[in-house]
């Protein structure tokens, strides 16, 4: 099969889209080119539906979270500040999902041009890394506060926690530079549509494979493995500390919430990382057939979408479980004229509380 040089470059570059499932020109054992119709039909239905659900639930949840934090800004704790930045990062990531959903659902693919492709992809990457790094910061702060009774941040120097958050944003910005350079709005003649994808062949064919492996390796190491190690070490030590202490109702609730936090993180992101690793290894497998390639494409699509749902679950895990947060939320809704008949039983608290947890400082709080 003969193609022009331009089309050949476009076909190869199209495959390397880390955000949305795209399809390589795999050849079956009989020498036929793999049919992309099945994968495209699956992508056109699955991605718009799941991204829409994640967008609506995530915007509502994080919006309520930020609203409650704003109303109680005078009593912010250290962790409340991290939660604020986490909510902002999640919202900025979520607002990019409709564009990715439109690309999958539209017959013409990406219709927004290269500039918006670069902006959307870069914003997505910044807030993806920022959200995960902030989760790691929260776990580290709680670990030091509960296990070692040490406060990284004090109320006398509230600017220190903001500086830490700015460092996280800056580091995330640096990690997004490859997207700003490589993302392009490219025409895929096989699919007869435009795609917002990373053009790994931008600097020549000899660097394409290295760029792609480096990009995925960076994501696995910095975006998943490093935060995973921090979460596992910190929260396992916290759980051990709680089990060794007096088992009150408050500690039992904290124990369950910690397990939920870690479990949801790994449930959302582990499948995607496994699928992406298998997909990377499969590209160099000359005996791979069309069925395997199509199955991997679907797996990457499904698992990546599951990972993005984590942004929608963060408000539930880090705020809605807090007694004080629910009380503040009900107060806001009542002030807006909403008639709520639900009765919520509150525990008496002897120490000063934050808007979402049982304590304003993580050094004094074990209820997440």
Q: Is 108 helix (H, G, I), strand (E, B) or coil?
A: coil
Contacts 24+ apart (CB under 8 A), 4-12: 7/189, 9/201, 10/186, 10/187, 10/188, 10/189, 11/188, 11/189, 11/190, 12/201, 12/208
* Least confident window among 175-184, 262-271, 313-322: 313-322
Least Cα distance to 12 among 278, 209, 213 occurs for 209
- DSSP class of 75: G
Model confidence over 21-43: pLDDT tens digits? 433 344 444 444 566 666 778 88
Mean local confidence (pLDDT), 266-286? 82
In the predicted structure, residue 364 carries a pLDDT above the cut 80: no
Domain regions of the chain by residue span: 5-13+32-335
In the predicted structure, residue 10 carries a pLDDT above the cut 70: no
**Which residues are registered as beta bridge partners of 184?**
197
pLDDT computed for residue 102 by the predictor: 92
Give the CA-trace dihedral at 57, 177, 81, 327, to 10 degrees: 0
List helix spans (H) across 97-225: 97-105, 113-147, 159-175, 177-182, 205-218
The CATH superfamily of 5-13+32-335 is Rhodopsin 7-helix transmembrane proteins (1.20.1070.10)
Least Cα distance to 182 among 165, 197, 162 occurs for 197
Which residue has 């190690």 as its token pair? 229
* Helix, strand, coil percent content, the chain, rounded in steps of 5: 70, 5, 30
Cα separation, 294 vs 298, whole angstroms: 6
Let me know: does 360 contact 77? Beta carbons within 8 Å.
yes
pLDDT computed for residue 334 by the predictor: 76
In the predicted structure, residue 119 carries a pLDDT above the cut 90: yes
Cα separation, 79 vs 298, whole angstroms: 38
Count CB-CB contacts under 10 A for residue 219: 19
* Least confident window among 55-64, 74-83, 266-275: 74-83
Q: Which residue has the higher pLDDT, 304 or 188?
A: 304
C-alpha 244 chain-centroid distance: 33
Pick the most confident of 118-127, 139-148, 294-303.
Answer: 118-127
Model confidence over 170-179: pLDDT tens digits? 999 999 999 9
Let me know: does 188 contact 14? Beta carbons within 8 Å.
yes
In the predicted structure, residue 317 carries a pLDDT above the cut 70: yes
DSSP H/E element including 319? none
Q: How many helices (H) and strands (E) would you count in the chain?
A: 13, 2
Count CB-CB contacts under 10 A for residue 188: 21
* Least confident window among 30-34, 104-108, 131-135, 210-214: 30-34
Q: Which residue has the higher pLDDT, 282 or 126?
A: 126
Mean local confidence (pLDDT), 228-239? 89
Mean local confidence (pLDDT), 197-209? 85
């Amino acid at each position: 099969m003969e193609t022009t040089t331009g089309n050949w470059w476009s076909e190869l570059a199209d495959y390397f889209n880390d955000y949305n499932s795209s399809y390589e020109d795999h050849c079956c054992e009989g020498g036929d080119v793999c049919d992309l119709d099945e994968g495209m039909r699956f992508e056109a239905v699955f991605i718009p539906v799941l991204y829409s659900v994640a967008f609506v639930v995530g915007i509502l949840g994080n919006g309520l979270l930020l609203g409650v934090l704003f109303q109680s800004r005078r009593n912010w704790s250290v962790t409340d500040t991290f939660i604020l930045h986490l909510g902002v990062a999640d919202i900025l990531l979520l607002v990019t999902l409709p564009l990715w959903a439109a690309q999958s659902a539209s017959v013409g693919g990406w219709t927004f041009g290269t500039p918006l492709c670069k902006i959307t992809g870069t914003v997505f990457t910044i807030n993806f890394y920022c959200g995960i790094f902030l989760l790691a910061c929260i776990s580290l702060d709680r670990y030091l506060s509960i296990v070692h009774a040490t406060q990284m941040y004090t109320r006398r120097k509230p600017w220190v926690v903001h500086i830490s958050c700015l460092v996280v944003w800056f580091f995330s910005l640096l990690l997004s530079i490859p997207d700003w350079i490589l993302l392009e709005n490219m025409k895929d003649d096989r699919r007869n549509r435009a795609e917002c994808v990373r053009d790994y062949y931008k600097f020549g064919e000899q660097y394409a494979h290295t760029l792609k492996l480096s990009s995925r390796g960076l994501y696995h190491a910095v975006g998943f493995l490093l935060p995973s190690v921090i979460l596992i070490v910190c929260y396992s030590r916290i759980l051990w500390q709680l089990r060794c202490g007096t088992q009150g109702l408050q500690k039992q609730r904290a124990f369950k919430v910690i397990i939920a936090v870690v479990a949801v993180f790994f449930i959302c992101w582990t499948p995607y990382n496994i699928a992406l690793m298998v997909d990377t290894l499969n590209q160099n497998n000359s005996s791979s057939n069309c069925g395997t390639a199509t199955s991997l494409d679907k797996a990457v699509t499904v698992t990546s979408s599951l990972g993005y749902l984590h942004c929608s679950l963060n408000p539930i895990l880090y705020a809605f479980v807090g007694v004080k947060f629910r009380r503040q939320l009900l107060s806001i809704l009542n002030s807006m004229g909403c008639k709520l008949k639900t009765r919520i039983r509150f525990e008496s608290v002897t120490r000063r509380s934050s808007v979402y947890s049982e304590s304003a400082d993580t050094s004094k709080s074990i209820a997440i």
